[in-house]
Structure 1
Amino acid sequence: MVEMSMLPEECISYIISYTSPMDACRSSLVCRLFRSAADSDVVWGRFLPHDLLHILSELDLASSMDSLSKKELFSRLSHRPVLVGDDRNRSFAIDKRSGKNCYMLGARRLSIEWGDTPRYWKWIPNWKQSRFLEVAELGIVWWLDIKGWIETNMLSPKTRYAAYFVYNLNVEYNGFEERPVKLRVYLEGQDGNGDETSVFLKPPPNMQQQFRERADGWMEVEMGEFFNDGGEEDDHRVLAFSLFDFDGNTTKSGLIVEGIEFRPKGIDR
């Protein structure tokens, strides 16, 4: 039986590349040979997204890619979310533990019913906790309807994802303790519109908390989950998602929308 330390460094790198970013970091602590192998571009090139060049082009970083090692590039993209796209209304990050793609669509990338009517919604620039240029703040509505879409080839293939509605409530919020909102996530073109769940964005005092407080100061509720069976560049399926409450008897106000985030199931923010 051949000991690992007897193998050429290239072979060790190849083996480590089939583990995970966390395992690669642990391997670098074994010895100098393993550190060199674990830090190689062979390893970290496999952990980077399959659509890396497209992501870099949206970040205007393609020209500087040659100056970074693959590990340095991974570190930069997993350290904190970065804004992408011409309108900077999407954010991207690599999950540092799994190497999977994480995206958030900001409020401006969502379809918000009456979102351009100041009586119902206001767009607040430079919100203190937001990663985006502006957030949406609900004035007052009777019907709440927020929806959007994302192409599955933006997400990592063969990965179970969950979608999360990221929000806050101002001090004058109303209507969210009285009624739950309905949530839905589904692939367009499939039979039906997916399973529907109900969640209180602000549960009444006698109910268990259904939202989770995030480290970035926002709250989130899970909208649903799905397995991204495809996800390659030529896969053009569309994932649809919605949050709604069509009860016309209860006014709702004070909701602040950051966006909707897609990340591998079981990973917290």
Structure 2
Amino acid sequence: MGASLSNLGENGSGSGGPGLGDIPESCVACVFLYLSPPEICNLARLNRSFRGAASSDAVWEAKLPSNYHHLLQLLSNPVVCESLSKKDIFAFLARPNPLDDGNKARPRFVFSTAVIIEIWRIRLLVWVDRNSGRVCMSISAKGMAITGIDDRRYWNWVPTEESRSFGSHWIRVLTYMVILDPDLVLLLVQIWAPHVYTSFFVCRFSVVAYLQQIWWFEVDGSVTFPFPPDIYTLSFRIHLGRFSRRLGRRISHFDHTHGWDIKPVRFQLSTSGGQHASSECFLDVTPVADANGSYKRGCWIEYKVGEFLVNESDPPTEVRFSMKQIDCTHSKGGLCVDSVLIMPSEKRRGGSLK
């Protein structure tokens, strides 16, 4: 039986008749239209016919967002992408692509002795989900307006590998030298390759906003983007307490964590099309957590604000969002703000909006 099954992948079958390799590529491509991209890539390894169908532009164009041409203009050089196949375009869009306030991210140059450093401040990241082909977005804390963020008595920027913003800073070195980033630093980069003048990425790192203590807590933001028609869910990603690593172990510190169990935090969103959503939540409910064995402290939690519907990608949709606790009768602190996630809603099934 095993010997007969091993022949099904190519032209022969177990009995010497037609096999999977005899199926025309056009027929295989029609089947691939109903499969997800990972399933298509797995089946492409089966035989030559499946491999040819898995490279068809018709198959991959059906997996791309309806306005992928517009996305390419925002995310990359459209001239370069014109020569790419639809499969390569999907692979490009499936990677997190940086934007800055709706435009392509621009580097800021830092000049020093014999060194030029590009520091890319990434505020927005856009990518296409590998399974569904739907557009997702992450807005880092750097892209939000946070009350008191410039006063270190209240807020600090904390470097971390746990951010969902996929690297809010990218550093690229153009010449040889030991450098120390004067801006957020906490990073020493040394390149042992003299006379290297070709630019290359050295590293990328993320930061989250950590609140020590404040009375007026307010985080606001907005984004304007040509979202493809879909239903989207907006969430804040928050962590109670400050975390660090010691001897390879993750440790959470709650010295400054207080005030989140007295009054709820209010989340809001609105769109340029007149849609509104809001929710309220106590971020710290220690007595309830002790009773139920479910703790909010020490872990990242995505707080859902609401959903919004996009019917057309032109004109672009503006989404405004906020997170507030402005009751000044008590202080609050010990909170990390990572990012805002705009993800496709699970309410959408198949190819229609419900």
TM-score range, shorter chain: 0.7 to 0.9
Distance in 2, matches of 1:149 and 1:162, equals 15
Match for residue 280 of structure 2? 198
Match for residue 42 of structure 1? 58
Match for residue 334 of structure 2? 254
Deviation larger for 68-77 or 130-139: 68-77
Distance in 2, matches of 1:25 and 1:7, equals 18
Query: Given the alignment of the two structures, is residue 175 of structure 1 paired with residue 259 of structure 2, yes or no?
Result: yes
Match for residue 145 of structure 1? 218
Match for residue 132 of structure 1? 168
Q: Say whether the 8 Å CA contact 1:199–1:210 is kept in structure 2.
A: no
Distance in 2, matches of 1:205 and 1:92, equals 39
Amino acid at match of 2:153: R
Shift, 1:196, TM fit: 2.4
Q: Say whether the 8 Å CA contact 2:67–2:228 is kept in structure 1.
A: no
Distance in 2, matches of 1:241 and 1:47, equals 30
Q: Say whether the 8 Å CA contact 2:38–2:130 is kept in structure 1.
A: yes
For residue 83 of structure 1, the aligned residue among 71, 82, 98 is: 98
For residue 156 of structure 1, the aligned residue among 217, 224, 228 is: 228
Shift, 1:54, TM fit: 4.9
Q: Say whether the 8 Å CA contact 2:24–2:49 is kept in structure 1.
A: no
CA RMSD between the two structures = 3.4
Using structure 2 for the length normalisation, give the TM-score.
Answer: 0.60
Using structure 1 for the length normalisation, give the TM-score.
Answer: 0.76
Shift, 1:104, TM fit: 0.6
Shift, 1:260, TM fit: 0.2
Q: Say whether the 8 Å CA contact 2:142–2:168 is kept in structure 1.
A: no
Deviations 1:214-256 (A, max 9, x none): xxx74321111122222x2x22332221111121112111221
Amino acid at match of 1:263: M
Query: Given the alignment of the two structures, is residue 109 of structure 1 paired with residue 143 of structure 2, yes or no?
Result: yes
Distance in 2, matches of 1:227 and 1:14, equals 30
Match for residue 187 of structure 1? 271
Shift, 1:167, TM fit: 2.3
Match for residue 33 of structure 2? 17
Distance in 1, matches of 2:260 and 2:300, equals 16
The SS at the match of 1:44 is helix
Match for residue 307 of structure 2? 225
The SS at the match of 1:42 is helix
Deviations 1:27-84 (A, max 9, x none): 6577653442233222112322344455445555656546754334434543x53433
Amino acid at match of 1:165: F
- The 3 A distance-change label for structure 1 pair 210 and 97 is farther
Distance in 2, matches of 1:188 and 1:65, equals 31
Match for residue 121 of structure 1? 155
Deviation larger for 251-260 or 48-57: 48-57
Deviation larger for 200-209 or 99-108: 200-209
Deviations 1:194-226 (A, max 9, x none): 23211233332314659699xxx7432111112
In the alignment of these two chains, the number of paired residues is: 253
Distance in 1, matches of 2:295 and 2:35, equals 35
Q: Say whether the 8 Å CA contact 1:20–1:98 is kept in structure 2.
A: yes
Q: Say whether the 8 Å CA contact 2:310–2:317 is kept in structure 1.
A: no
The SS at the match of 1:36 is helix
Q: Say whether the 8 Å CA contact 2:21–2:47 is kept in structure 1.
A: no
Q: Say whether the 8 Å CA contact 1:211–1:221 is kept in structure 2.
A: no
The SS at the match of 1:91 is strand
- The 3 A distance-change label for structure 1 pair 204 and 254 is same
Distance in 2, matches of 1:114 and 1:185, equals 22
Q: Say whether the 8 Å CA contact 2:236–2:340 is kept in structure 1.
A: yes
